Structure 1
Amino acid sequence: MLDLAKSLKGINDATVRNTVAIELTEKIIAAHAAQAALISKVADLEKELVRFETWEAEKQRYDLHEIKKGRFTRRLKESVEGSEPPHHICAQCYNRGVKSILQSKVSEVGRNTLLVCGECKTELNLSLAV
């Protein structure tokens, strides 16, 4: 690009000079576009890093809990319960980096008590023995 700029100085033919100027302008525009793409990529990576760091801190607040033989959830640690009510989150979603609070539901058939994940639709039947 610097060579093109230097060559503009010594060109007397207006047509050649304009052609070189256009080529130089195109290279500058391409460089700006590449820079903008890199800035955008860095911003996206910074957001992703913040999300990972936030999730890493959040997941430390939960312990693995066997709610019924062979049925696992992540339960809010007692040491942090003061800030929010005790609850369980879906172990599958937790492993994917998602916090999904399990909701209690009574099934229509058999009147079984279930914990249901609104995110992945996992249902933990608390009434049946394994």
Structure 2
Amino acid sequence: MVDTDSIQDLFISFKAAFDVTKGLVELNRDDKIQHAVAELNSALMDAQGKAIAAYTAQAAFAEKVEKLEAELSRLKEWSGEKERYELQSRSPISPGAIAYRIREELRGNEPVHWLCPTCFQDNVKSILQESGGATRTKTANCPRCNTTLEFRE
């Protein structure tokens, strides 16, 4: 929002320039005219500086509004997306480990997958990537934050 004091200062500067110009009409001596012209130039430069400052403030405000609108849009989209998941203990996951699983009734053609609980709390969808070896223990790693969950087959 443009600062009302800046706008008021701008109008005061323009009024001062107008008053100087009005005074020019009433002058009849060259030295008074030169002095009045100098005052007019000073008042116009002051008004121009205040106009630039007001424009700069308005541009910064517009940029901030645009960023906030983008963030609001992203959060609204995430709000709908996160409703598709439920917090579960992965069975047979290591004791105390939890992750977000896509709800069966909302997954459509997507494969069953799990989201990283850390990233989920940061409003980010990050699918856990499973890896395993010859043992019966496997791990699920988050490619974003490197959270690792262990589970048994």
Q: TM-score, normalised by structure 1?
A: 0.88
Number of the residue aligned with 1:74: 100
The Cα shift of 1:3 comes to 2.6
Deviations 1:64-111 (A, max 9, x none): 111124221100001111142211111111111111101110158x56
Number of the residue aligned with 1:126: 151
Number of the residue aligned with 2:61: 38
The answer to which structure, 1 or 2, has the higher relative contact order (CA under 8 A, 6+ apart) is 2
* Unmatched runs of 5 consecutive residues or more in structure 2: 1-9, 25-35
Confirm or deny that 1:53 pairs with 2:76: yes
Contact 1:115-1:123 at 8 Å conserved across structures? yes
Contact 1:114-1:126 at 8 Å conserved across structures? yes
Distance 1:58 1:52 in 2: 10
Structure 2 residue corresponding to 1:28, chosen from 48, 51, 57: 51
The Cα shift of 1:2 comes to 2.0
Distance 1:122 1:92 in 2: 7
- 1:107/1:121 Cα in 2 relative to 1: closer, same or farther (>3 Å)? farther
The Cα shift of 1:6 comes to 2.2
Which AA in structure 1 matches 2:18? K
Specify which structure has the higher proportion of strand: 1
- 1:70/1:10 Cα in 2 relative to 1: closer, same or farther (>3 Å)? closer
Which AA in structure 2 matches 1:5? F
Between 1:34-43 and 1:9-18, the stretch displaced more is 9-18
Count of residue correspondences: 127
Confirm or deny that 1:114 pairs with 2:139: yes
Q: TM-score, normalised by structure 2?
A: 0.76
Contact 2:84-2:107 at 8 Å conserved across structures? no
Structure 2 residue corresponding to 1:3, chosen from 12, 23, 36: 12
**What percent of counterpart residues are identical?**
34
Bigger radius of gyration among the two: 2
* Unmatched runs of 5 consecutive residues or more in structure 1: none
Contact 1:107-1:114 at 8 Å conserved across structures? no
- Aligned alpha-carbon RMSD (Å): 1.8
